[in-house]
Structure 1
Amino acid sequence: MQRITQYDGLYGEANTQPDAEYLFSELLETRSQSFDWVIQPHIHARLFQVFFIETGQFNFQEASRERQLTGPCLLLIPPTALHGFVYNADVRGRILTLSDALIDALFPSGSPVTAMLGSLQCLSIVQGPYSAERVSELIKAIDDELFDDQPEKRLMLQSCLQQFFLVVYRLWQESEQTGSVTNNLSLQYFRKFQQRVRQAGTTQTIAQLADDLAITPVHLNRICQAVSGKSASQLVQAHILDEARKYLTYTTYSISEIAYLLNFEYPNYFARFFRKNAGLSPTEFRERQTKI
């Protein structure tokens, strides 16, 4: 039987006793590289850790299983949770380590966030509003404050940490509401599809969007139906209609200009599309908005 090592401090550090306000931030690759990219399964008795894997692949071992993951993703590892890693050498990210007492001070037992913090979480980061870039910025703000010496440092760190964990909580809530798990490929495909739609508008067909994701149009439609209850085509049309409404409400572009901005070949195609989906013409819709 493999012996599981318990660390009071960070991995590989013996005879360390972090205090109640312990907080440490480090690049993931710094410690991992020194152990030849292999972190043996271990536990921390009194430490909570956040692993933000920005890029790269790795194998993650927990108590009940081992799985292969790809960044960007977040791992939340509470005290006494078994965890180990085998990283590819190109992995990049950052690790936050906090004492369990500090976590309790940030989010007392009555906080809804404690439901997330009580067990190991693995969250894929696919799209905004909380993108990988946004998560990276929040962690960087914690790191900058931690290793600087500005007035009211303790209060600022508390604020930065609470903001970070609340963003993670929202990511977790989104994952819970959609029934997602980390390896839910269908949801990952769906989110990537949504991102493509926002970027491409009407410039790509469903077949082209599916090809971008390396899946068939039939598979894409199954995913969209399972996640949203709508076909891929319906979701694209809903996005275009929403964009059209924004242009008509908040800009002074002419109907023809909006049609071309939305990549319609002719303005009358756009007018026909809008009437079919909104129940009135673009002109009628704009006139109603000006009266509100």
Structure 2
Amino acid sequence: MPNASRINVAQPTYGGAATPAYSLYGEGPELGQSIYSNAESIFVRSKNLTNNIEMHLHRDLYQFVYISIGKSTLVTPAGRKDFGDRTLLLVPPNFEHGFNSYPEIETRGHVITISDFFFGRMAQRGLLVADVLDSIMIFEGIDPIKNATLIESIEKVIQEHHEFRYPHVLAREASVQAFIVEFLRLLHERNAFKEGRDAGKYRDLSDGGRIKQLSWLIDKYYKSHKNVNFYAKQLGVSASNLNKLAVIATGGSVHANLRARIMEEARAYLANTSLSVKEIAYRLGYEDAAYFTRFFTKNAEMSPIEFRRIATQAPG
């Protein structure tokens, strides 16, 4: 079985004056607000950069790096880690990292970047996501036969992000979802879910079950703008206890999860349709388009119109 390792950092680093925060390395911070996913070869991602990518972090992106052949060195505050052929690496949001490359060695592979709100939804927001928030993960020695489906899913993501035939948006989402499924299977195979987990976070299966049910209920009712008490009643717990469970499992309160779900759908409409802001507001349960605009602007730090402009200019 291939090796799996983690680069543990006590807490995610949110960056300071000495640590640049990017969406994609070298891109403006607004790009992370506009993309669900981005996929490209290592050559394309680094063609305008030097061989060494300086220490930086991504505030709202999960980044997967797959090296098919070659060599690179991951640099973190915890130290350095060399990795080579058939290695898959995951850097969650808010972890400082950099890469040292070797120009004398031909390195091939792919970089898949997924917005955190999209990853959270695709990975069944909550328990699964919490398991990959606490460290950088490195999976070495990916078996091209045993893990053929994983490798195929990576290649499919790359293919669909360079395909513009209808319905390309749906095809991209489907390819990313299939990749996340294979990644989570790899985690399960390596028993990585159990490593470093704080057992106290999940006292019993009923807590996990409630969080999964909460995710389902949010998907069903978020456009109705129900309050926390509604969800608590549906799940047979108090509002305060449900909020505690939500924070433990997802990092945010029930209200924060509702807000994220609305923002996710709003971004999708703005990026992938020609609906007006008023029409989008109505579809999301807002009678007052001005109120929706204020809500979106507060959470995205840009207006819906500005977001649409940036989203339609995003690469891939």
TM bin, normalised by shorter chain, reads 0.5 to 0.7
Shift of 1:127: 2.2
1 CA distance for matches of 2:165 and 2:175?
Answer: 14
Q: Secondary structure at the match of 2:169?
A: helix
What is the letter of the counterpart of residue 56 of structure 2? Answer: H
Say which of 110, 122, 129 aligns to 1:94: 110
Amino acid at match of 1:92: R
User: Is 1:81 aligned to 2:95, yes or no?
Assistant: yes
Which of 3, 13, 28 lines up with 2:42 in the alignment? 28
- Counterpart-to-counterpart distance in 2, 1:19 and 1:178: 29
| TM-aligned CA distance change 1:114 to 1:21, over 3 Å | farther
Deviation at 1:144, TM superposition (A): 1.9
Give matches, 1:61-210, under 5 Å.
Answer: 61-89=75-103, 90-112=106-128, 114-116=130-132, 119-127=135-143, 129-131=145-147, 134-176=149-191
Query: Matches of 2:116 and 2:32 in 1, distance apart?
Result: 10
Letter in 2 for 1:112: L
Structure 2 residue 78 is the aligned partner of structure 1 residue 56: no
Unaligned runs of 5+ in 1: 181-292
Paired position in structure 2 for 1:37? 51
Change (3 A) 1:66 1:32: same
Is the CA contact 2:71–2:84 (under 8 Å) kept in the aligned structure 1? Answer: yes
Offset of 1:75 from its aligned partner? 0.7
Aligned to 1:281: none
Q: Tell me the alpha carbon deviations over residues 132-185 of structure 1, each in whole angstroms, 9 at most, x when there is no partner.
A: x543321221122222223333333232212211212222222227999xxxxx
Deviations 1:255-285 (A, max 9, x none): xxxxxxxxxxxxxxxxxxxxxxxxxxxxxxx
Contact 1:72–1:126, Cα closer than 8 Å, also in 2:
yes
Q: 1:87 to 1:134 in 2, by over 3 A?
A: farther
Does the Cα contact within 8 Å between 1:108 and 1:114 map onto a contact in 2? Answer: no
User: 3-state DSSP class of the match of 1:59?
Assistant: strand
What is the Cα-based RMSD across aligned positions, in Å? 2.9
Give the 3-state SS of the residue equivalent to 1:109 in structure 2.
coil
**CA 1:150–1:114 in structure 2 vs 1: closer, same or farther (change >3 Å)?**
farther
Deviation of 1:129 (Å): 4.9
Identity of aligned residues (%): 24
Unaligned runs of 5+ in 2: 1-15, 196-316
Query: Distance between the aligned counterparts of 1:105 and 1:153, measured in 2?
Result: 19
Where relative contact order (Cα < 8 A, 6+ residues apart) is larger, the structure is: 2
TM-score, structure 1 length as denominator?
A: 0.54
Whole-angstrom distance in 1 between the partners of 2:31 and 2:143: 39
Partner Cα separation in structure 2 for residue 55 and residue 62 of structure 1:
22
Give secondary structure in 2 for the equivalent of 1:104.
Answer: helix
Larger radius of gyration: 1
- Aligned to 1:86, what secondary structure does the other structure show? strand
Alpha-carbon spacing, 1:130–1:37, altered in 2? closer, same or farther (3 Å):
farther
Task: State the one-letter code of the partner of 1:160.
Answer: S
Residues 62-87 of structure 1: CA distance to partner in whole angstroms, max 9, x if unpaired?
A: 23121111121111111101111011
Q: CA deviation at 1:94?
A: 0.6
Q: Distance in 1 between matches of 2:133 and 2:183?
A: 10
Give the distance between the partners of 1:117 and 1:152, measured in 2 at CA: 32
Q: Distance in 2 between matches of 1:146 and 1:91?
A: 21
TM-score normalised per structure 2: 0.50
Q: Which moved more, 1:150-159 or 1:91-100?
A: 150-159
For 1:130 and 1:123, locate their aligned partners in 2 and report how far apart those are by CA, in whole Å: 14
1:113/1:169 contact within 8 Å kept: no
Secondary structure at the counterpart of residue 18 of structure 1 = helix
Q: How far apart, in 1, do the equivalents of 2:133 and 2:144 lie?
A: 22
> Deviation string for 1:210-261 (max 9, x for gaps)?
xxxxxxxxxxxxxxxxxxxxxxxxxxxxxxxxxxxxxxxxxxxxxxxxxxxx
CA change 1:38–1:112 in 2 (3 A) is same
